[in-house]
Structure 1
Amino acid sequence: MKIGVFRGYSRALKNKYEEGKTTEYSYRGIFESFLKFLFSNKEEYQIKAIKVTQEPGKETFGAPDFKIFTSKGIIGYIETKHPDMDLHKLPKRDKHQIKRYSERLDNFILTNYRDFILYQNGEKVEEVLLIDENFNLIESNIERFQRLIDRFLSFTIPKIQEPELLAKILAQRTMILKDIVLENIDMDEQLQYLHKAFKEHLMSGMTKTEFADAYAQTVVYGLFMARFTIKGELTRENVAFRGIPKSLRVVHEIFRYIASDLPDYLEWIVEELIGILNNVDIEELRKRFHFGNGEFDPFLHFYETFLAEYNPKLRKSKGVYYTPIPVVEFIVNSVDEILKEKFGKRLHDEGITILDPATGTGTFLAGVLDRIHRNIRGTLFQLYLKERLLNNIYGFEILISPYLVAHLKLSMVLNQWGIKLNDNERFKIYLTNALDLMRERGQAGLFEMALDRESEEADRVKKDAKIFVVIGNPPYDVKPSEGWIAELMEDYLHGLGVENEKKKGALQDDYVKFIRFAQWKIDQNGKGIIGFITNNSYLDGLVHRRMRQSLMESFDEIYILNLHGNAIKGDNDENVFDIKQGVAIAFFVKLREGKHRAEECRVYYHSIVNDSKKTTREEKYEFLRNNSWKTIEWKVLTPKEPYYFFVPKDLSLEEEYSKFPKLDEIFEVYSSGVETQNDAATIAFTREELKQRIKDFLKLSTEEIRHKYGFKDKSVWNLNDATKVLNSDFSRYGDFERWFTEKAKLYLYRPFDYRWVFYLPRKFIGRARYPVMKHFILGTNLGLVISKLSTYLGDFSIFAIVTDKPADKHTLLAGKTVVNKSITVVFPLYIYSDDGKTKRPNLKPEFLEELRKRYGEITPEDFLYYAYAVLHDPKYRKRYAEFLKFDFPRIPLYNKETFEKYKKIGEELVKLHLMKVDFPIEPKLVGDNLAIEKVKYDGKDCVAINKTTKLCGIPPEVWEYTIGGYRVIEKYLKGRKGRKLSLEELEHVYKVVEILKRTIELVKELEKIEPKFA
């Protein structure tokens, strides 16, 4: 190209700039002319058009400024900025915009008309400064610039044959489309109309962000569906009128809008998506999307890949998890077996209606079709399909993209068997929230009428349709129940004392609501089967006891196949899903109408885990492949009131244990420990550290505090609010020392780990538990600290500690050796008057009277010593292990002689654990660097705290000593990682070593006691 063109371009830019008051758009005409000159000499690239996609004055996020076409379609995009803008120091908004373009468009140039940066496949690949800041042409860079343009023009996307590649490319464009919708919705009447319609007719609380997400995925998956149904190339028009079946009314109406005159900010990305899908090797993709190739579901795999790229958080929040084919086939085949064995029916028989209330991508319903197809082959299957299956198979799905995938999948499954649905035929999979009913209808346009009709038909199924089989994998998502499902959930929330439980959040998990909904549908039918795989916490969760009783009242037989896999509990096995929560398959079988006594229900159980070794995911799949409901050796359970556990429990000692008084029956006042909601800000290792931090909070800005301490705002703890609270409280004192001394408290943070807390309730301390903790502040006191729901894996770890100070919620927090993450509950021994002048025992008067009848004039301290010893007795923890898993411990009241033995040892234990003892302390150090970098025990005598220093003289039994799931010494040291141990802390460690040595000796003495009742 002649150099004169470049010089002319440089002069034109300079002249325009010198006119003054220019914007980015002022230079567009000059640049467009320059591009035409450039491309006119590039005939080999067959440049078809250069299109300006954004008009001057429109500052909204949408299309890049220029779109470059070849004869084969879109080749790339160019985004322009003002010549004064430094492309390496973009303002925040522009930086975010360019990040989106460069990461999600395959071929993209950013320029300020002088400097040019080329991005390809998300990477910066070329940069050339063509014109300097004084608008002087840099002639030596012309050749490099031409190479950049050649590289831009020669870029081609290869024919897409791999579903994984297509999923990732579509996900990147979906992110752009979502952002465009979100940023333009307030000025686009059509988008506002669609959002309003979705809110009023589908999901009442749908935010703009949720709408933008639903819209973007609808467009992308609608186009994806059309690519499989339309012969030849896609266009916006043929997608709308031939690519989307008219029977999918909601999606069809959205694509009528797509076919109309779209604004530029939407049109470009829709055309980009169509171009990508037209570049797909559709025949190769059809081969890849073949359902029934072993245990691979290509549709679900495609959607999983898409979500992982597009929005992994959405997957987690909505509980969207891949259901492995062995699980699906096991459940489907088992349901068919139960139908045949118990009801004399099969999945395809008249009257067998099937519902998947959380359809997802349709994997379970595809499995149902496959099972039926294997039962009845040939043309007979097509007759059954048209006469029964299309009318008898139902599904609900709230997310629009898996809804579309499910319809596409089932239609392609039929295509594999030579069956094609007519345009007015569809599976009765509805876009709806299974747990909600439609709102009142108002005036409706075409789109609203389509939504209304979809919702009306779904509601008819929810309320009136007789359903024989409910099958599937419900989502996991804890949120409050609302509306219609909230009424059904009342059955699980009232009874057996569940209504009195303070923490019932586990009953608000969506999977529980789906079980309740399924139970209601089967009750409504009078007989039938539920086949679900769900979170397994309901099998033995304490708050689930009424749920279990209710299920036993509805169903005649219940089969639980426990797949375990709870990483939170520390299960020694792998999960069948990529989640931490354990799961179970359940079959609930109703043989007769109406309700009956829970005890009439027969409950069967089987564990898939081999306790002797780790059970892998593949071993679990193999079990499911080789077994079904009929071949499993089920163990009979006899769930009893009040807990009705769905897992084996050795409750043979229940009658004995239940006679003992429980801690919450002994003490009047108690609560969980303090929850600061931001330990890093409110708790310090020393009083001086805490004092300096509070001084900073009073005098520094929140930004300065964040910089100094590295704090980050949390939803439950806002730094701005905290500083306001501190300043407001301080203003009533004036004297800092007096104020600080009154609020700063020594605090039991972890076992033998005391720290300083600034104890100021209301916003600075999230949950101060003052009504209980004040009894440790107003005067001298003792208290039991207990870990409720202390389920252990067999080592019977200590789950109690004693305190004379306020205690943290996680003083005793389940670690790897403990199954449930439990909270700390604090029972003070005395209750103080508000002025701190008087106190009284916190033992209930009737209980204190019973103690004195048995043991004479004993003090509250005597009972605490006794109870503390009992809780440390290995015999007690082992004998009553099952009962200690699900409630506060009960304290056996032995005879007076035994009481005295326990009391004596308990008193010493209390003094030891309050550290009110003196031992000769001799730290044994190897090295002199006390900075804690990495804590590692050698298994013999020493723990390394960094590369050069070890703390020795710590025997293995002391190192392994566990309280509340923590190795005591290890927890103390790891809690100070990144700090240098002070001499006081070093001496503290060795004092704890001596305390634990003596504790171990006393526990052995406890084990020798032969307790006797009066």
Structure 2
Amino acid sequence: MKPGVLRGYSKGLKKVHEAGATTEYSYRIVFQEFLRSLFSKEYNVRIIHEPSRETFGAPDFKISTETGIIGYIETKVPNVDLHRLPKRDKSQIKRYSERLDNFILTNYRDFILYQRGEKVEEVSLLDEDFNLIESNVDKFNRLIQRFLSFTVPKIKDPEELAYILAKRAMILKDVVLENMNEDEQLQYLYQAFKEHLMSGMKKSEFADAYAQTVVYGLFMARFMIEGQLTRENVAFRGVPKSLRVVHEIFKYIASDLPDYLEWILEELIAILNNVDVEELKRRFHFGNGEFDPFLHFYETFLAEYSPNLRKSKGVYYTPIPVVEFIVNSVDEILKEKFGKRLQDDGVTILDPATGTGTFLAGVLDRIHRNIKGTLFQLYLKERLLNNIYGFEILISPYLVAHLKLSMVLNQWGIKLKDDERFKIYLTNALDLMRERGQAGLFERALDKESEEADRVKKETKIFVVIGNPPYESKKIEESWGSELLKEYLHGLSVEQEKNKGVIQDYYIGFIRFAQWKIDQNGKGIVGFITNNSYLDGIIHRRMRQSLMESFDEIYILNLHGNANRGEQDDNVFKIKQGVAIALFVKLREGKHKAEECKIYYYSIVHDAGKTTREEKYEFLRNKSWKTVEWKELEPKEPYYFFVPKDLSLEGEYSKFPKLDEIFEVYSSGVETGKDSALVAFSKEDLEPVIRDILNPKVSTAQLREKYDIESTSGWRFEERRAKIVGTPMKPSNFKKLAYRPFDWRWVYYEPKILRRAHFKVMKHFLADMNIGIVTERIVPKMRLLWDAVFVVDTISELHLTGSKSYIFPLYLYSDDGKTRRPNLKPEFLEELRKRYGEITPEDFLYYAYAVLHDPKYRKRYAEFLKFDFPRIPLYEGETFKRYRDIGEELVKLHLMKVDFPVEPKLVGDDLTVEKVKYDGKDCVAINKTTKLCGIPPEVWEYTIGGYRVIEKYLKGRKGRKLSLDELEHIYKVVEILRRTIGLVKELEAIEPKF
């Protein structure tokens, strides 16, 4: 490099600086001339400069040759430290440096070169006064040479291509999101998507959909177009016209795009022009057994592009062994029960959650194996293209599905014409199109797609519904699908109706939709893999009954894998929620009694130990509907469980009175809406928070930032705060709260701000002395042993005994708090007096509390304790007295009404709780240097509500330093639990008599 070029650059910048320049643009003209002098003639390089950028998105300079893009340069003002950029600039540079292969950042004096996401060179060419630093000239020359000589080898590996495209898609998404408010065309597309596809679509979701559409549309074009891609041929030939929606989006690409979109589009085209197309096609061949190249490509892309997207949308792509088991089983059932095969006339097939088309590809493969020779092409053109349907709401997997199925056909020597397509529609399976007025071309394309999809939803007779519905545990919005779901709510209790959100989970919506379609046809099959919670969930009982009324035979293959329940076996997916395959078979039209349906069950997990993912795949490879050793179940009302249950003691247990039949008044516990801010370890900790909330001078935004208070479903912080802001703080509102077993905290008990205060019940603990039993109605399935009971004499929190705790006060107080009466139903009190003479309400509570702690009771009635409030057996007089006496001791212990000295056994002096770990013998470490000793294993293992009591208490104080009071409290609880264990052994020794 000629020294004169560098000195000229130095001189030019000095001149601009002396003229009083303050923006980076003032220096950019000098820099552009410097770049031209550096290498444009010698290296035949083109320098493209964005002269005036109002929008944010494109780097300042693009350096390219006739054969492609070399790299990009971004400039900042000379006085900025490139290592201490302002927040906005820092975010921008992070985006460029991590997602562009060859990128220079400069402030005209200092230069940093990034390649493949790594900083590889850095040099200061000029000092702060723009004088040339002679000693760094050679280093600068090396940086420029390295920048210019950067090349990307031909891309042959699909995984590498997915990774590279994901990086660019991230940029595209960001620039669309940052500029869409000012871009009329993007606003038009966004509004069209909202009106026609996803009514609640956020701008970020649109930017994501747009970015993935462009990337996958270009990816599809790479397979469709011979030779080099250009914006023009991509727009008009890259996407089949039959895919109307995507075709209209790509017509926009051929128009005069804004700079912030044009550069990244050209970058994407350049990348795809650098692909070894023939090798790529070879690698995307479906000849490798269970390997789905398109699925692998898409999952690799998603893992880099947005790891959280899959989880947020509940998108988990189905392993091939699962697909083959379901498809093969459906074909066998068709043959055995209906005398048909998948390819036969009248066998219409729908995948309502198509994803990348794995199930439909499996259907095509099975049919191809059923039909030998050239006959398959005839079946395809005249029957299958009209009989196979799919719905997909996410546009990128929708595109991949179309491309995948086309490639599957190509392998068999079949090519679809431009006007031919599979009937996979871009639509929400659980909603219908709404009436609209005038529409543009893109909206008309969406409308046409929606009209055809709605015709399938409402009118087309479907014989087979297969697939893997989404795992998104989010409530289905008010829609046609949510109306269908009301079938599963009929007959549920008021309390269960409150929890109907569980029924509105997406996977349940898809099961209901599939059931409705088969009912509409009068006969048929559903083959799904889904969340398995509906098999024995109490809230799902009407759902199970409804399915039994529709279908004649139901086959459940329980694949388990529920880490949330503590199951040790692997999941067939990489998720924590257990799953099951269901085959629902309808042989005759109309509904019938649930008892007429035959239920068959098989569990893939046995007592032999952990079943690995590969072992489950091997089972699915080697089995199908015909060869699984099904066990027939006999589900009975009211629960109709789809899993084996030992209910042989139901007649005995159901004779005992249930807690909600014994007590008049009860409710679930207090729910604040934001425990981390509204619940504290001490009154002193809570007071400043409440003072700020009540202070009108403290804004809601300040409170959010200071205390991390965000609104949640059913609790809008701004609205709740507005009801009390400006009012004086009331000392009497600070109340002790039974937060967890033996863990009392403080709450500001003001119903106006709490999410659920349950004042009608809690007031009976505020008026005067009271006592109450706390338990659960439905115990989480992960809990192997029932332990959901505690006793309180204060108001209690929702999760005191686990998932959802209910409190049953012993007494009810008058409004003035002066009188009280027992909260026992009169008829039950009368029954007690007939049996036991004059006993007090306390006598019964002590007795019941002891019964609920008896290991014999917990074991004998374990199955029933999982799905309703406990029932209390009424033993004969002497047995009653023995239980009552032990129960009184337990209550006094658990309310900590018994005094005894304790002596903490401490090793170390740092009482900050960091990581809690028990040594299995005597000590629990709370950090690297300190242990609490003298805690026997049986005490450490003692649980209430599914949690080890001592461990829960310590983990609840993680990051805090234990006070002396807390330390002594822990050792009191240790002694209480030790005594509790002794009393429980006494209970176990009693032989109850009725």
TM-score of the two chains, using structure 1 as the length reference = 0.94
Q: Indicate whether 1:767 and 2:771 are aligned.
A: no
How far did 1:447 drift? 2.1
> Per the alignment, do residues 27 and 161 of structure 1 end up closer, same or farther by CA in structure 2, a change over 3 Å counting?
same
CA distance in 2: counterparts of 1:803 and 1:970, whole angstroms = 20
**Corresponding residue for residue 51 of structure 1:** 48
**Corresponding residue for residue 446 of structure 2:** 451
Q: Which moved more, 1:416-425 or 1:924-933?
A: 924-933
CA distance in 2: counterparts of 1:553 and 1:352, whole angstroms = 23
How far did 1:932 drift? 4.0
> Per the alignment, do residues 496 and 504 of structure 1 end up closer, same or farther by CA in structure 2, a change over 3 Å counting?
closer
Q: Which amino acid aligns with 1:772?
A: V
2:667 to 666, 671, 677: 671
How far did 1:727 drift? 12
CA distance in 2: counterparts of 1:333 and 1:67, whole angstroms = 54
CA distance in 2: counterparts of 1:176 and 1:687, whole angstroms = 49
Q: Which moved more, 1:661-670 or 1:278-287?
A: 661-670
Q: Indicate whether 1:108 and 2:108 are aligned.
A: no
Residue identity over aligned pairs, in percent, reads: 76
> Per the alignment, do residues 50 and 518 of structure 1 end up closer, same or farther by CA in structure 2, a change over 3 Å counting?
same
CA distance in 2: counterparts of 1:695 and 1:358, whole angstroms = 51
How far did 1:489 drift? 1.1
**Corresponding residue for residue 894 of structure 1:** 875
What does 1:196-595 correspond to in 2, within 5 Å? 196-477=191-472, 478-497=474-493, 500-595=496-591
What does 1:579-978 correspond to in 2, within 5 Å? 579-691=575-687, 711-716=707-712, 725=721, 731-732=727-728, 739-740=730-731, 742-763=732-753, 765-791=754-780, 796-813=785-802, 822-926=803-907, 930-947=911-928, 949-978=930-959
8 Å CA contact 1:61, 1:97 repeated in 2: no
8 Å CA contact 2:390, 2:424 repeated in 1: yes
CA distance in 2: counterparts of 1:389 and 1:37, whole angstroms = 63
CA distance in 2: counterparts of 1:679 and 1:884, whole angstroms = 29
**Corresponding residue for residue 1003 of structure 1:** 984
> Per the alignment, do residues 905 and 285 of structure 1 end up closer, same or farther by CA in structure 2, a change over 3 Å counting?
same
CA distance in 2: counterparts of 1:851 and 1:507, whole angstroms = 39
Q: Which moved more, 1:744-753 or 1:145-154?
A: 744-753
Q: Which moved more, 1:926-935 or 1:675-684?
A: 926-935
How far did 1:196 drift? 2.5
Q: Which amino acid aligns with 1:609?
A: V
The CA RMSD measured in Å over matched residues stands at: 2.6
> Per the alignment, do residues 700 and 133 of structure 1 end up closer, same or farther by CA in structure 2, a change over 3 Å counting?
farther
Q: Which amino acid aligns with 2:204?
A: T
8 Å CA contact 1:489, 1:513 repeated in 2: yes
Q: Which moved more, 1:230-239 or 1:707-716?
A: 707-716
How far did 1:377 drift? 2.1
Q: Which amino acid aligns with 2:864?
A: F
> Per the alignment, do residues 939 and 316 of structure 1 end up closer, same or farther by CA in structure 2, a change over 3 Å counting?
closer
CA distance in 2: counterparts of 1:721 and 1:591, whole angstroms = 53
CA distance in 2: counterparts of 1:704 and 1:203, whole angstroms = 31
> Per the alignment, do residues 605 and 717 of structure 1 end up closer, same or farther by CA in structure 2, a change over 3 Å counting?
closer
Q: Which amino acid aligns with 2:548?
A: M
SS of the residue aligned with 1:224?
A: helix
How far did 1:882 drift? 0.6
Matched pairs, number: 993
**Corresponding residue for residue 29 of structure 1:** 29
Unaligned 5+ runs, structure 2: none
How far did 1:436 drift? 0.8
Q: Which moved more, 1:844-853 or 1:629-638?
A: 844-853
CA distance in 2: counterparts of 1:169 and 1:961, whole angstroms = 52
SS of the residue aligned with 1:533?
A: strand
1:463-512 CA distance string (max 9 Å, x none): 11110000000002212342211221111111253785321211111110
CA distance in 2: counterparts of 1:190 and 1:540, whole angstroms = 50
8 Å CA contact 1:670, 1:826 repeated in 2: yes
8 Å CA contact 1:332, 1:368 repeated in 2: yes
8 Å CA contact 1:751, 1:801 repeated in 2: yes
8 Å CA contact 2:217, 2:239 repeated in 1: yes
SS of the residue aligned with 1:796?
A: coil
SS of the residue aligned with 1:355?
A: strand
8 Å CA contact 2:552, 2:585 repeated in 1: yes
How far did 1:194 drift? 2.0
CA distance in 2: counterparts of 1:185 and 1:927, whole angstroms = 59
Unaligned 5+ runs, structure 1: 734-738, 814-821
SS of the residue aligned with 2:736?
A: strand
CA distance in 2: counterparts of 1:658 and 1:923, whole angstroms = 47
Q: Which moved more, 1:153-162 or 1:201-210?
A: 201-210
8 Å CA contact 2:786, 2:866 repeated in 1: no
Q: Indicate whether 1:159 and 2:154 are aligned.
A: yes
CA distance in 1: counterparts of 2:150 and 2:851, whole angstroms = 77
> Per the alignment, do residues 794 and 963 of structure 1 end up closer, same or farther by CA in structure 2, a change over 3 Å counting?
closer
> Per the alignment, do residues 799 and 154 of structure 1 end up closer, same or farther by CA in structure 2, a change over 3 Å counting?
same
**Corresponding residue for residue 819 of structure 1:** none
Q: Which moved more, 1:12-21 or 1:947-956?
A: 947-956
8 Å CA contact 2:695, 2:726 repeated in 1: no
> Per the alignment, do residues 920 and 204 of structure 1 end up closer, same or farther by CA in structure 2, a change over 3 Å counting?
closer
1:277-304 CA distance string (max 9 Å, x none): 0111111111211124111111011111
How far did 1:960 drift? 1.8
8 Å CA contact 2:695, 2:725 repeated in 1: no
CA distance in 1: counterparts of 2:28 and 2:916, whole angstroms = 63
8 Å CA contact 1:747, 1:755 repeated in 2: yes
1:426-448 CA distance string (max 9 Å, x none): 11111111111111132233222
CA distance in 1: counterparts of 2:78 and 2:922, whole angstroms = 69
How far did 1:724 drift? 10
How far did 1:134 drift? 2.3
8 Å CA contact 2:720, 2:752 repeated in 1: no
**Corresponding residue for residue 16 of structure 1:** 16
Q: Indicate whether 1:190 and 2:185 are aligned.
A: yes
8 Å CA contact 1:717, 1:766 repeated in 2: no
TM-score of the two chains, using structure 2 as the length reference = 0.95
Q: Which amino acid aligns with 1:15?
A: K
1:710-762 CA distance string (max 9 Å, x none): 843434399996999599667536xxxxx43x232222222122233333444
Q: Which amino acid aligns with 1:2?
A: K
8 Å CA contact 2:774, 2:790 repeated in 1: yes
> Per the alignment, do residues 277 and 700 of structure 1 end up closer, same or farther by CA in structure 2, a change over 3 Å counting?
same
8 Å CA contact 1:830, 1:841 repeated in 2: yes
CA distance in 1: counterparts of 2:409 and 2:221, whole angstroms = 17
How far did 1:62 drift? 2.2
How far did 1:110 drift? 1.7
8 Å CA contact 2:229, 2:269 repeated in 1: yes
Q: Which amino acid aligns with 2:576?
A: K
> Per the alignment, do residues 767 and 446 of structure 1 end up closer, same or farther by CA in structure 2, a change over 3 Å counting?
same
